[in-house]
Amino acid sequence: MVDVDKAVIARLKSHGKKFEILVDCDKAIELKQGKSINLNDVLATDAIFTDVKKGDKASEKELEDVFGTSDALEISEEIIKKGDVQLTQDHMNKLREEKRKRIINLIHKNGVDSRTNLPHPPQRIENALEEARVSVDSFRPAEEQIKDILVKIRPILPIKFEKRKVEVKIPSQFASKGYSTIKKFSNIIDEKWQNDGSWVGSVEIPAGVQEEFFSEINSITHGTVETKVLQLKGE
């Protein structure tokens, strides 16, 4: 069991009642996300409360009425998975850092320098975020924050979001492995397997990964792949 002094509250409101348990923050979040976690590593106590701070425990009847059982472990798991878990400051910081890295990666892959058409290195993007004093929302999806963040960093970092439509032809001997790379990097617009086993298609890729895409597909095909940038699509 978890040290009670280090535990946080997981809370579920149901049928007009409130049910609380004491849990390890990180382990409870992992369980909530669907990971296989032993409940003994999550719980600080097997008691089910109506108010942890007051020490008020839920009665067996209340538990049976709401959960259909009085089994503490079964109820605790439901509270964690369906309810809210109080976050520690350390966990909040961890979430914010993970979201920040996700945003930097998205900008790096989708954006290019508007002067050179080359992708900005992640460190340069991170420096721009710091200089512009960008505040990252830990709970809002990274994709939803990009537009507002670009407005703030563009005075510091010349950047544009652009997609490239590329025509690709992969020789038959490399078609299978090359196709896996195509799916990894791009959105396939149209495709056709030729009678000789080669693959021909049009794909759309973020501008920031063009060099990496060309490098990998050329490596796999030993330079025999044929590519042609058909059009650019700015955002």
In the predicted model, what is the mean pLDDT of residues 147-174?
93
Instruction: Report the mean per-residue pLDDT for the chain.
Output: 93
| In the chain, where the domains are located | 7-85, 89-157, 161-234
DSSP 20: E
pLDDT digits (tens, 9 = 90+) for 162-216: 888 999 999 999 999 999 999 988 899 999 999 999 999 999 998 888 888 999 9
**Which CATH architecture describes the domain 89-157?**
Orthogonal Bundle (1.10)
Q: What is the pTM of this model?
A: 0.67
Place of tokens 């791009």: 186
- Is pLDDT at 5 greater than 60 in this prediction? yes
In the predicted model, what is the mean pLDDT of residues 19-40?
94
Side chain identity at residue 33, one-letter code: Q
Q: Which CATH superfamily is domain 7-85 in?
A: Ribosome maturation protein SBDS, N-terminal domain (3.30.1250.10)
- Is pLDDT at 11 greater than 90 in this prediction? yes
Question: From CA 102, how far away is CA 96, in angstroms rounded?
Answer: 10
Task: Quote the pLDDT of residue 163.
Answer: 87
In the predicted model, what is the mean pLDDT of residues 123-149?
93
Task: Quote the pLDDT of residue 90.
Answer: 92
CATH classification for the domain delimited by 161-234, as one of 3.30.420.240, 3.90.650.10, 3.30.70.240, 3.90.105.10: 3.30.70.240
Task: Quote the pLDDT of residue 234.
Answer: 58
Handedness of CA 39, 41, 47, 49 (dihedral sign): negative
